[in-house]
Amino acid sequence: MERQLHIVVLLPHPDDEGIIAGTLARHIHNGTPVTYVCLTLGEMGRNMGNPPFANRVTLPMIRKQELEEACRRIGIQDVRMWGYHDKTIEFEDQEKLADRIERLISELEPSLIYTFYPGYSVHPDHDATGAAVVRAVERIPAHKRPAVHCIAIATGREKLLGQPDAVHDVSEHVEQKIHAIHAHQSQVQHLLGNGTLDDPAFRAKYSREPFWEYRFND
Ligand SMILES: [Zn+2]
């Protein structure tokens, strides 16, 4: 994994970063600064914890603290919460959202952006976030654009998108990754089930992080 000038991660939900936590930990270990923009506070998360310790009123505050803790565990120092409402990203004014992302890109000048692949990421917030990133990056002249590497989670993604452009082996950071996912106490059951790192199949699954590069038309 090459060292980058700066990496920006744009994902809609606290806990989405767990999917690529190994990659982010490795970049940080290599000395690349990472900024994570989480668009919502995940207020609509289905789980209130097990046993329940949150309710609809307290869940956003709890998820904010969980996200801060998860980022600490990954080593991310710049976390920004944009405060959109969970499950509403697709209804935001898409041009305004792209404007905001464009301003972020001019502020940080990242060489690489991680987001969801629009249309292949299952949840409407995931698709809408990826689409807004593409819309913002598209406006930048081709030679100045950061690379956009996408997470795709749709079933049959290889059939739809072809083989991933990169598959990161993050086995050296897999403990750290699972530890970071465990920071999302209200969601951990939903995220990891009963899996543990003692199970070789679980370890193998979480040690591999595939990415598809978004290809612009010009
Ligand atoms: Zn999500």
CA of 149 to the centre of ligand 1 (A): 17
pLDDT tier at 12 (50, 70, 90 boundaries)? very high
With contact defined as beta carbons under 8 Å apart, do 144 and 180 qualify? no
CA of 16 to the centre of ligand 1 (A): 5
Pick the residue with more confidence: 2 or 125?
A: 125
pLDDT in tens, 91-100: 999 999 999 9
CA of 170 to the centre of ligand 1 (A): 21
pLDDT tier at 19 (50, 70, 90 boundaries)? very high
Pick the residue with more confidence: 210 or 52?
A: 210
pLDDT in tens, 55-74: 888 888 999 999 999 999 99
Least confident range of 9-23, 37-51, 174-188: 37-51
Sign (positive or negative) of CA dihedral 119, 155, 184, 168: negative
| Partner residues linked to 94 by β-bridges | none
Helix (H, G, I), strand (E, B) or coil at 172: helix
Strand order across the 7-11 sheet? 78-84, 34-40, 7-11, 112-116, 147-151, 208-213, 166-169
How far from the centroid of its chain's Cα atoms is residue 166's Cα?
Answer: 16
CA of 123 to the centre of ligand 1 (A): 7
Q: Residue 53 contacts by C-beta under 8 Å, 6 or more apart in sequence?
A: 62, 185, 186
CA of 28 to the centre of ligand 1 (A): 22
With contact defined as beta carbons under 8 Å apart, do 118 and 80 qualify? no
CA of 15 to the centre of ligand 1 (A): 7
pLDDT of residue 32: 98
Distance CA 138, CA 95 (A): 12
CA of 122 to the centre of ligand 1 (A): 9
φ/ψ region of 115 (left if φ > 0, alpha if ψ in -120 to 50, else beta) reads beta
Question: In the predicted model, is pLDDT for residue 46 greater than 80?
Answer: no
CA of 101 to the centre of ligand 1 (A): 18
CA of 179 to the centre of ligand 1 (A): 18
User: Which amino acid, one-letter code, is at 28?
Assistant: I
Q: Which residue has the tokens 């590069």?
A: 213
**Mean pLDDT for the stretch of residues 19-42:** 97
CA of 143 to the centre of ligand 1 (A): 31
pLDDT of residue 204: 97
pLDDT of residue 149: 98
Question: In the predicted model, is pLDDT for residue 50 greater than 80?
Answer: no
Write phi, then psi, for 213 (nearest 5 degrees).
Answer: -80, 135
Question: In the predicted model, is pLDDT for residue 77 greater than 80?
Answer: yes
Pick the residue with more confidence: 163 or 48?
A: 163
pLDDT of residue 218: 84
Question: In the predicted model, is pLDDT for residue 144 greater than 90?
Answer: yes
pLDDT tier at 103 (50, 70, 90 boundaries)? very high
CA of 113 to the centre of ligand 1 (A): 17
CA of 12 to the centre of ligand 1 (A): 6
CA of 11 to the centre of ligand 1 (A): 7
CA of 193 to the centre of ligand 1 (A): 16
CA of 126 to the centre of ligand 1 (A): 6
